[in-house]
Amino acid sequence: MNFIGKIGYLFLCVLILSCTNSDINDEQLSLKSYLDSAIFNTGAVIACAASDNDSGNILTFYYPESGALNTRYYETKSVEVDHNNFSNYQQVLIVSEPIFNCYLRRFSQESMVEKWIIITFELDGEIKVSNPIRSKQISKPTLWDDIVTIEQSESNMPIFSWQDNVVRDNTIYFQIVSDTQDNLLSGTYTNQNQFQYYKLDNVVLNITIETPPTLQLGFLYNFTLMDVSLDNWVNAATLNKSFVNQ
């Protein structure tokens, strides 16, 4: 084989290998392929997303249940696809970071395109799959503001309240009470625009693992609120509003 023939042969080998690797990677990164031969449970990962106030990045929050393994982040190329079709989702190899001292975790990703996002992890022999999350970092960036009022007429049981979303496109509110060391004391969801620590009368979902401690008089605590839409986008939020327990 002459020199030109050898070059042509090598080029052909590289081309075939490149195509093969590309096909394998696409297959490996497909959510449909990941779930095809597995037992999976949809709507089983608590997750939502917001836009970062400074960078505009998509921040995807999720609750990692105890024992959860192999967490994965999947997304579509745009929002102009069927978000219920798992073949439209490809895995993005990014690493999440802990928040509230690992009680929750968060992915951060820069993106100039709005998309659908799904978070998965493995637990108890199943793949747990979140509901699709519709990012709106361009069309409706999250409003980070002080939208919470705190009333403390009942000792050690402050009442947190806020205005309902004026557009009425929210479906649930997520509340977190934490201490100054960023430990999550209480994590709850309500349909109503108020929450009292620690009453569960109007709580529709509780991710608090242990019984929350009694708040100490004169101590500083923080309150975080997320107004979440039906497609799991955070419309508005208050982050770590400080208050002295009375």
Domains of the chain: 29-134 (2.60.40), 143-244 (2.60.40.10)
pLDDT at 16: 35
DSSP single-letter state for residue 154: S
Q: Which amino acid is at 93?
A: L
CB 44 within 8 A of CB 129: yes
Q: Tell how far CA 29 is from the center of its chain.
A: 20
Mean pLDDT by 10 residues, the chain (246 residues): 39 36 58 96 98 96 97 97 97 96 97 97 97 97 93 96 82 97 98 96 96 96 97 96 96
Distance CA(206)–CA(239), nearest Å, equals: 19
pLDDT at 21: 39
Global pTM value = 0.87
Distance CA(213)–CA(81), nearest Å, equals: 46
> Taking Cα atoms as reference points, which of 63, 71, 54, 81 lies closest to residue 137?
54
What is the per-residue pLDDT across 92-128, written as a single tens digit (0 to 9) for each?
A: 999 999 999 999 999 999 999 999 999 999 999 999 9
Dihedral angle at the C-alpha atoms of 208, 213, 217, 222, nearest 10 degrees?
A: -30
